[in-house]
Amino acid sequence: MSDSQTLKFQHIFGLQGAVKNNVHFVEEGVIIYPSGASTVVYRSDTREMDLIPTTSDALSISSLCVSPNRRFIAVAESTTERGIVNIYDANTFRRRKMLNLPELESKTINHIVFSADTKQCLTLGGAPDYMMCLWNVEKAVKVITSLSLASPNGAEVYKATFCPADPSVICVTGAGVLRFFRVLEGGFRPVTLNIKREPQDYTCQAWLPEDRVVIAADSGELLIIENFEFKCVLSSSPTDGKRVGCIVAFSKGFVVGGTGGIRIYEKSDDSREFYKLGKIFQIKTNPSCVITSMSVSPSEDVLLCSTSDHQLYTFSLSNTDILKEDANNFDVLMAPFHGPGESQSPKITGLDTCIWKPLVVSCGLDRSVRVWNYVEKTMELMKVFDEEALSVALHPSGLYVLIAFTSRIRLCSILMDDIRPIRDLTIKGCKKMTFSNGGQYFAVANNTTVQVYGTYSCELISTMRGHNGKVRSVVFKDGDKNLMTCGLDGGVFIWNVVTGAKEKEDLSFGNSFTAGCADGAMSRGYLISSDNKIKEYDLNSMVLKNEVIVEGGVGETCYGGKFLFCGGGGGGGRAGGIKAYKIGGSTFGEDPDDFQVHSGAVSCMCLSHDGNYLFSASEDGSLAIFGVQAATKSGERQEFAEEILVTKGDLEEKSGEISRLHGKVEELSLNNDYQLRLKDMNYKEKIKEVSDKFMTELKNDADRYAQLMEEKKEMETDYEERLKSLKVKHSEEFKELEGGYNTKINTEVQRFELLVSEREEQNRKWDEENQALVDSHTEFLQDLTEEYDKKVEAEQNQQKELSEAKDTMVDKFTVTKDMVEEDAEFEVEDLKGKYEGKLNAERKATLRLRGENGFMKKKYDAMIKDVSDQREEINALHEKEKELHESIKGLEKDIQGHKKEIREREETIVDKEKRIYDLKKKNQELEKFKFVLDYKIKELKRQIEPRENEIGEMKNMIEEMDLELEQYHKSNSALDLMIGELRLKMDGMNREILAEKKTIDVGNEFIKRFRRDLHVSVQKIGKSKELKDSVTNLYKQYAQNDLSLTGGGGGDGKKGGAGAGGGGHEVQNEYNRQREHLERSVESLKRKIGKDVDLHNTDHARLIRENVALTKEINELRRESKDLDLQGANMERMYGGLPMPMGGGGSKPGTGVIAPTPPTNASSRRSKPSSVGMRSASGANPGGGMDGVMRDLEEQSKTILSLEERIESLRGMMGAGMGDGMDGGLGIGGEGMFAGGGNPQV
The more confident residue out of 1185 and 625 is 625
The predicted structure's pLDDT at residue 83: 92
Residues 578/602, Cβ–Cβ less than 8 Å: yes
The predicted structure's pLDDT at residue 747: 84
Look up residue 489 and give its amino acid: D
Query: Counting Cβ atoms within 10 Å, is residue 640 exposed (0-12), middle (13-18) or buried (19+)?
Result: middle
The predicted structure's pLDDT at residue 868: 74
pLDDT digits (tens, 9 = 90+) for 315-327: 999 888 888 888 8
3-state DSSP assignment of residue 820: helix
pLDDT over threshold 90, residue 460: yes
pLDDT digits (tens, 9 = 90+) for 1178-1233: 333 434 445 555 566 566 667 666 666 766 665 565 455 444 443 433 333 333 33
pLDDT over threshold 70, residue 226: yes
The predicted structure's pLDDT at residue 950: 78
Average pLDDT, the chain: 81
Element (H, E) at 1171: helix 1162-1178
Lowest mean pLDDT among 453-467, 658-672, 753-767: 753-767
pLDDT over threshold 60, residue 743: yes
The predicted structure's pLDDT at residue 1167: 37
The predicted structure's pLDDT at residue 499: 92
Instruction: Average the pLDDT over 190-209 and give the result.
Output: 88
The DSSP 8-state label assigned to residue 431 in this structure reads -
The predicted structure's pLDDT at residue 1058: 36
Distance CA 557, CA 566 (A): 4
* Confidence band, pLDDT 50/70/90 cuts, at residue 1133: low
The predicted structure's pLDDT at residue 1221: 40
Instruction: Average the pLDDT over 269-274 and give the result.
Output: 78
Distance CA 356, CA 454 (A): 20
Neighbours of 560 (CB within 10 A): 23
Element (H, E) at 432: none
The predicted structure's pLDDT at residue 570: 64
Instruction: Average the pLDDT over 373-384 and give the result.
Output: 94
Lowest mean pLDDT among 30-44, 395-409, 1018-1032, 1110-1124: 1110-1124
Lowest mean pLDDT among 25-29, 508-512, 782-786, 1185-1189: 1185-1189
The predicted structure's pLDDT at residue 1231: 36
DSSP β-bridge partners for residue 607:
614
Q: Where in the chain is the domain with CATH 2.130.10.10?
A: 192-335, 348-628
The predicted structure's pLDDT at residue 1200: 62
The predicted structure's pLDDT at residue 1128: 65
Closest CA to 1159 of 1078, 1239, 1059: 1239
Instruction: Average the pLDDT over 395-399 and give the result.
Output: 95
Percent of the chain with pLDDT over 70: 83
Q: What are phi and psi of 375, to 5 degrees?
A: -85, -45
pLDDT over threshold 80, residue 817: no
Cα–Cα distances in angstroms (integers) from residue 725 to residues 457, 718, 729, 731, in the given order: 105, 11, 6, 10
Lowest mean pLDDT among 745-749, 1092-1096, 1208-1212: 1208-1212
Return the ∠ at Cα 63 (arms to 60 and 65), rounded to 5°: 135
Strands 623-628 vs 7-13: parallel, antiparallel or unpaired: antiparallel
Cβ-based neighbours of 370, under 8 Å, separated by 6 or more: 336, 338, 361, 362, 363, 379, 381, 382
Q: Which of 114-123, 1003-1012, 1091-1100, 1155-1164 has the highest mean pLDDT?
A: 114-123
Residues 411/421, Cβ–Cβ less than 8 Å: yes
* Confidence band, pLDDT 50/70/90 cuts, at residue 649: confident
Buried b (16+ CB within 10 A) or exposed e, 541-555: eeeeeeebebebbbb
The predicted structure's pLDDT at residue 1154: 33
pLDDT digits (tens, 9 = 90+) for 291-310: 999 999 999 999 999 999 99
Closest CA to 403 of 378, 430, 437, 381: 430
* Confidence band, pLDDT 50/70/90 cuts, at residue 758: confident
Return the ∠ at Cα 625 (arms to 620 and 626), rounded to 5°: 125
pLDDT over threshold 60, residue 220: yes
Residues 320/352, Cβ–Cβ less than 8 Å: no
pLDDT over threshold 80, residue 572: no
* Confidence band, pLDDT 50/70/90 cuts, at residue 370: very high
Instruction: Average the pLDDT over 1087-1114 and give the result.
Output: 71
Q: Which fold has domain 192-335?
A: Methylamine Dehydrogenase; Chain H (2.130.10)
3-state DSSP assignment of residue 468: coil
Distance CA 569, CA 732 (A): 86
Half-sphere exposure of 172 (CA within 13 A, CB side): 27
The more confident residue out of 957 and 310 is 310
- Using only C-alpha atoms, the chain has a radius of gyration, in whole angstroms, of 49
Residues 66/26, Cβ–Cβ less than 8 Å: yes
Residues 351/361, Cβ–Cβ less than 8 Å: yes
Q: Which fold has domain 348-628?
A: Methylamine Dehydrogenase; Chain H (2.130.10)
Residues 410/433, Cβ–Cβ less than 8 Å: no
Neighbours of 378 (CB within 10 A): 13
Instruction: Average the pLDDT over 797-814 and give the result.
Output: 79
Cα–Cα distances in angstroms (integers) from residue 675 to residues 671, 680, 914, 938, 1171, in the given order: 6, 9, 36, 18, 62
Residues 594/568, Cβ–Cβ less than 8 Å: no
Distance CA 687, CA 689 (A): 5
Cα–Cα distances in angstroms (integers) from residue 1204 to residues 744, 823, 1191, 1197, in the given order: 118, 102, 20, 11
Residues 522/516, Cβ–Cβ less than 8 Å: no
The more confident residue out of 861 and 579 is 579
Cβ-based neighbours of 129, under 8 Å, separated by 6 or more: 104, 105, 106, 148, 149, 150
The predicted structure's pLDDT at residue 1156: 36
Cα–Cα distances in angstroms (integers) from residue 102 to residues 81, 122, 810, 1227, in the given order: 9, 16, 61, 92
Residues 23/66, Cβ–Cβ less than 8 Å: no
pLDDT digits (tens, 9 = 90+) for 134-169: 999 988 899 999 999 988 888 899 999 999 999 999
DSSP β-bridge partners for residue 468:
none
Percent of the chain with pLDDT over 90: 33
Residues 1216/1051, Cβ–Cβ less than 8 Å: yes
Q: How far apart are the first and last CA of the chain?
A: 94
Instruction: Average the pLDDT over 8-29 and give the result.
Output: 93
Distance CA 266, CA 248 (A): 12
pLDDT digits (tens, 9 = 90+) for 53-112: 998 888 899 999 999 999 999 999 998 889 999 999 999 999 999 999 988 889 999 999
Look up residue 1030 and give its amino acid: S
The predicted structure's pLDDT at residue 185: 86
Q: Which of 567-571, 636-640, 698-702 has the highest mean pLDDT?
A: 698-702
The predicted structure's pLDDT at residue 614: 94
The greatest distance separating any two alpha carbons of the chain, rounded to the nearest whole angstrom, comes to 149
Lowest mean pLDDT among 176-180, 918-922, 1058-1062, 1106-1110: 1058-1062
Distance CA 290, CA 203 (A): 13
* Confidence band, pLDDT 50/70/90 cuts, at residue 1108: low
pLDDT over threshold 70, residue 224: yes
